[in-house]
Structure 1
């Protein structure tokens, strides 16, 4: 798989905006999500069904929530993205928070995400 194709997979993931059909099409069944503690539903989630069932429900706290990739870097089967989470909570509070994502892409699907982010703006917007 070419490097640009790997970045395209990650861009499709970001473009999903919570659409589970798109997420299922770009994330491997045995994927591993390692999400920073302090982020909503943070921790390690193993397997696509657990990622969808245990991690993504935090989106219900938002009217809108997007991942905006500002810079994409490739290294072998890894795609590193520096970007921002942007959104509005169901309570009407705007949020912007920086992140770094390290994806592993194999056989055309995301097999791992290691995430770190500035969790304080999100916690404040959610009154946590």
Structure 2
């Protein structure tokens, strides 16, 4: 298993365990996140720095949703420190208890054992159906 894939697996373990400290430690200070435009609660767009991503994206999603991130495939990009992860978001909105089931692709870049960037692509309509 290449390093990027190993780090990505650790990332999903931290997300599923809702382990903020592990997420913080996995992301670089200069982390760059890109979340699909149209995501609920205004979390779509660019996010600069690990604190911004943890607080303004994952924290806000966690406040409104009880959703598991389920990676199903890890595709190492040969000759790079990148991995493409395919999977699904599954769960429900906290206030309506209506199901969320949306496919995702994450492009994760790694440097020196930490994640430097994550680009999320998802079906944002599937998030809004439950609201």
Tell me if TM exceeds 0.5: yes
TM, length-normalised to structure 2: 0.87
| SS of 1:30 mapped into structure 2 | strand
2:129 counterpart SS class: helix
The superposition leaves residues 60-109 of structure 1 with CA deviations (integer Å, 9 ceiling, x where unpaired) of: 011x2121111111111101011111112112111110011100011101
1:40-61 CA-partner distances (Å, limit 9, x unpaired): 3111000011112211222101
Q: Which runs of 4+ in 1 moved over 6 A?
A: none
Q: Distance in 2 between matches of 1:26 and 1:66?
A: 19
| Counterpart residue number, 2:12 | 14
- Which ranges of structure 2 fall in alignment gaps of 5 or more residues? none
Q: Is the 8 A contact 2:24 2:51 kept in 1?
A: no
What does residue 52 of structure 1 align with? 54
Question: 5+ unaligned residues in a row in structure 1: which ranges?
Answer: none
TM-score between both structures, scaled by the size of structure 1: 0.89
- Asked if structure 2 preserves the Cα contact closer than 8 Å seen for 1:95 and 1:122, the reply is yes
How many residue pairs are counted as aligned between the two chains? Answer: 123
What is residue 26 of structure 2 aligned with on the other side?
26
- Superposition CA RMSD, Å: 1.3
Give, in angstroms, the shift of residue 12 of structure 1: 1.4
